[in-house]
Amino acid sequence: MISDPPITAPVLVRQKFDFAASHRLHVPTLSDDENQRLFGKCNHPSGHGHNYQIEPCVEWRAAKGDTDFDLAAFERLVKQVLIDRFDHKHLNLDTREFSATIGVNPTVENIARVFFGLLSPELAAWSRHASLRSITVWETDRTSATFPA
């Protein structure tokens, strides 16, 4: 019986990516006044934009003798799954995940949750030694959300 080679201690790999997008924070079940009170200027009917940064945290568990983590291939994967899909988009109007029909308000915490859900299965399919631990989305230099916490 042939067994898999022993796994080395896990390594956490983080890489930052940038994308720009606009969004409007709005809950359709609330009145316009309630939305304005809750979200302030972030509820502007035309939306507003951010230069976001995302930072996936990948747990890499390579078997002894495997090559190192392929950062260039990982960058291509993130670009394909997230950046190309959301960069220079109005999240509420141009993306299925944050459209009014789906009902996910594009707050920074919801963006982190949705991005984790999109990237995690793609990463698992890309490498049996890599898994997504978390993803942090920076909306500003002072505001971020990490999912899962």
Q: Which residues are catalytic?
A: 42, 88, 139
Q: Are 63 and 6 in contact (CB under 8 A)?
A: yes
Residue 145 and residue 139: Cα distance in Å, rounded?
Answer: 8
Q: Which residue has the tokens 């399919």?
A: 125
Tell me what percent of the chain is helix, strand and coil, each rounded to the nearest 5.
35, 30, 40
Residue 131 and residue 51: Cα distance in Å, rounded?
Answer: 26
Q: Are 20 and 88 in contact (CB under 8 A)?
A: yes
β-strand partners of 63: 7
